[in-house]
Chains A and B, each alone.
Chain A
């Protein structure tokens, strides 16, 4: 009898390939890189005031990229990205507002603290969700409830009893006078702020690219397509989902910190039901799996909602809701993949 197959089966399963074996970049990655160069050039020709507005348009990109990775690539939908956004923003405000003696240290400690807070929240919730192996629909529901509860909590923190060190949490009116980013002895405003935000956004994008164009990204795709099969290949699906959830939370936290450094205030509304919709709309309209699509749709929709809301237009959320429905119903919504295909075969 031929015993070779059994002998082969008896071999230990080869360890899954190196965790961060880097693969080729895709065409769309070069396109996004080109887009960043264009944005940088654009920032140098516009006025100081417009540069500040432009900083607002791009600062949400990390949050959207995180959700694209989580939902589009790994197939785990979260409605709670704004909770990480808001938590990181508030934490930055509390930490940076309390270190008044050293402004540079205050900004750095605020950034680190804000991202750490988002990470801890993600680890706690992610543990219960992913290690419980809950059904797919539970994750978005629980993260949404988490967001609403956080928003409700921050909403009732009005008054002087809600004071952390020297910083008032501020209830529904929000936290004000949050210190801006401070480096080399200057506070960042206007054009310098724009380039700082752009640099951080590009780093966040690079982090996403490194995650997705590696064997880690392949595992994420595999567990979206068939998590049982992925598990039988020797991957710890629960850990991978938790890691992906944490990276997405940190990326949302990056956006949150950038937001408070840009606007110097934050309100509980930034974690409300309406805000929670926005990242989902950006990613859905961007086609979910394509970083190029998500970056472009995030920029475009941020410009659109900024214009609509600054002109006092009440139809903003009707339009966003309709976009969400259309993006889900129209089956061939992979417009960004086609754009990339025009520029060359996808890698």
Chain B
């Protein structure tokens, strides 16, 4: 019983970690086929915002919301200044966002020094028999599911979602029908950046807050988007995090975190050899159409 719970818990935390790290990337990729390599740095800034606010007495939940809003605003600035010049030129966009990530990480180091005050983990821990767990990670699992549900609502039940999906499907036609695609791109980029900030703030209590903390999310988040592909945001997010945590969890339990990540990389390599457009395209073709 306890060992089953423990494996389930491990699986859930792995999946939640992947989902939170990658959700902002997946949203942006699905819409404009652009990978934002500064994603990890946006998460880092989210954690910085949360830490500053938390230590000036703001409750943690409010810090998380503030991080989302702050980074969404930063996303608008980034999109207007740089990203909009690179629609349709995905490789150049990758390189530009990489340049941005260097400036942000090293700039933060120069501005605020190598460390920032950390945030204590809320909620404490619980136990079932010999199996102990952290309530905060249970909360993170719940929050990531809520995030996916929220995105589903946004994409399938709102006017913005309809326009966004139309733009994704056929940009020129959507524009001809009166959708302001430039604005859709801007808002999507803001949403993706905001989600990065939110994820950074949520992860902040579980890690050290430092200028280069974004790097630890790079490998898992990118493996997740590569596996998921760009066809469908919701299917990509759920499918690839589920698949990758299935591949990762046994190796993490038996051999440790590093081998778990290697297993994820190998699993995703084999997967894209079989399904080059990613899991989301396959799920959509198989079950959603």
Contact = CB atoms under 8 A, between A and B. Distances in A.
A75 B102 CA distance: 23
A324 B110 contact: no
Contacts of A324: 95-96, 98-99, 102
A140 B91 contact: yes
Interface in A45-85: 71, 75, 77, 79
A318 B118 CA distance: 25
Given A132-B276, A325-B99, A141 B265 contact: no
Given A277-B98, A321-B106, 4 more contacts: A128-B270, A134-B276, A135-B276, A152-B261
Contacts of B165: none
A135 B277 contact: yes
B91 A132 contact: no
Question: Helix, strand, loop or mixed for chain B's interface?
Answer: helix
A237 to B, nearest CB: 14
Contact of B92 (A149, A322, A328): A328
Nearest to A273: B215
A136 B88 CA distance: 12
B147 to A, nearest CB: 22
A140 B94 contact: yes
Contacts, number: 121
A137 B96 contact: no
Contact of A149 (B82, B109, B219): B219
B168 interface: no
B110 A325 contact: no
B223 interface: yes
B153 interface: no
A148 B219 contact: yes
A55 B288 CA distance: 59
Interface string A140-180: 11101110110011001000000000000000000000000
Interface residues of B, number: 43
B179 interface: no
Contacts of A156: 258
Interface string B245-288: 00000000000001001100100111011101100000000000
A280 interface: yes
Interface residues of A, number: 43
A328 B96 contact: yes
A138 interface: yes
A116 interface: no
Contacts of B199: none
A145 B223 contact: yes
B85 interface: yes
B154 interface: no
B95 A280 contact: yes
B225 interface: yes
B107 interface: yes
A318 B225 contact: no
A315 interface: yes
Contact of A315 (B90, B110, B230, B274): B110
A138 B230 CA distance: 11
A306 interface: no
B138 interface: no
B33 interface: yes
A317 B13 CA distance: 34
Interface of A: 71, 75, 77, 79, 125, 128-129, 131-138, 140-142, 144-146, 148-149, 152-153, 156, 273-274, 277, 280, 284, 314-315, 317-318, 320-325, 328-329
10 nearest A-B pairs in the assembled complex, by CB-CB distance? A321-B102, A324-B99, A325-B99, A321-B103, A317-B106, A132-B273, A321-B99, A328-B96, A132-B276, A128-B269
Among B92, B102, B230, B268, the most chain A Cβ lie within 10 Å of the Cβ of B102
Contacts of B35: 137, 141
A77 B103 contact: no
Contact of B272 (A128, A277, A320): A128
A226 to B, nearest CB: 15
Nearest to A138: B226
7 contacts: A77-B94, A125-B269, A136-B90, A137-B34, A145-B223, A315-B110, A324-B95
A318 B258 contact: no
Contact of A146 (B103, B110, B230, B265): B265
Contacts of A148: 215, 218-219
Given A280-B95, A324-B95, A144 B90 contact: no
B100 A325 contact: yes
A57 B267 CA distance: 39
Contact of A320 (B86, B102, B218): B102
B272 A284 contact: no
A318 B95 contact: no
B14 interface: no
Contacts of B82: 325, 329
A77 B96 CA distance: 13
B240 to A, nearest CB: 13
B9 interface: no
B276 A145 contact: no
Interface string B96-120: 1011111101110110000000000
B222 interface: yes
B109 A325 contact: no
A132 B94 contact: no
A210 B240 CA distance: 43
A322 B103 CA distance: 7
A141 B226 contact: yes
Contacts of A140: 91, 94
